Chain A
Amino acid sequence: MDILQILFWVLTIMAIGCALGVVLSRNPVNSVIFLILTFFAISGHYLLLNAQFLAIVNIIVYAGAIMVLFLFVIMLMNMNADTEPQKSWLVQLAGVVSGGTLFLVIIAAISKANLLGVIQPETTNIGLIKVLGQVLYKEYVLPFEISSVLFLSAMIGAIVIGKKDME
């Protein structure tokens, strides 16, 4: 077992444990902290896959911007474990059973699929910024420009929705 495999298993256990912490913890602030840890574990997986650009973007955009927004809203509303609404245990059990059933069904489908792929991260360099930048600005330049329009409309929408008086 070499160092890459050890890192893979450590990051996997960290990602799944922290994802369970997001779902199960009572306090919403703890959920946000667990979600940030999950995103860091996923960024570690991107680094193991030699996708350096996406690892950095994941940390900056998700763990940096989006989760700070979540944390800001939660602290603005002053939420804690006491104000947390709880579903009845029957509904929670139904959620766990349906999620677990989906997991089992897709695992059963995958195990018959005969996928024979082995990932060797060192052999390719498609995740590097240079290669991705050339693909992005040559083949995908129109979607890239359209996404700026999407951002503008999202910004205007957030401002319009969040205004004090809607009249």
Chain B
Amino acid sequence: MPIQYYLFLSLALFCIGIMGALMRRNAIIIFMSIELMLNAVNLLMVAFSKMYNDSAAQIFVFFIMVVAAAEVAVGLAIIVMMYRKVHSVDVNILNRLKH
């Protein structure tokens, strides 16, 4: 497989994630789009590690997964807290940070 195919695939996934983060108002869907972007980067990193025959990139992908897991735990706790306060996950309600 030429490396361009993997580049185009992960670029397409990344841009779909950006479109999702810009198009939707549900905070959880925006969060899922961010996960999609992280996975696109992971896929490209594994492809390049295969191309250059270097295993450090796969270790970095492993650490990206670690950070993503921690991020999801804290982020979903924040979203649940926000739902408890305002009974909605609409990000447009969050434009005032006062209450």
Co-assembled chains A and B: yes
A106 on the B face (CB < 8 A): yes
* Closest beta carbon of chain A to B8's beta carbon, Å: 7
* Count of B interface residues, CB-CB < 8 Å: 68
| CB within 8 Å of A: which B1-51 residues | 1-9, 11-13, 15-20, 22-26, 28-29, 31-33, 35-36, 39, 42-43, 46-47, 49-51
Complex Cα spacing A74 to B79, Å:
10
| CB within 8 Å of B: which A57-113 residues | 57-58, 61-62, 65-66, 69-70, 73-74, 76-77, 79, 84-87, 91-92, 94-96, 98-100, 102-103, 106-107, 110
Q: Is the CB of A51 within 8 A of B50?
A: yes
Knowing A23-B23, A35-B32, A115-B7, the reply to whether A57 touches B77 (Cβ < 8 A) is: no
Complex Cα spacing A121 to B51, Å:
9
Complex Cα spacing A51 to B16, Å:
25
Which residues from chain A sit less than 8 Å from chain B, CB to CB?
4-5, 8, 12, 15-16, 19-20, 22-23, 28, 31-32, 35, 38-39, 42, 45-46, 49-51, 53-54, 57-58, 61-62, 65-66, 69-70, 73-74, 76-77, 79, 84-87, 91-92, 94-96, 98-100, 102-103, 106-107, 110, 115, 117-119, 121, 124, 126-127, 131-132, 135-136, 139-140, 143, 147, 150-151, 153-155, 157-159, 161-162
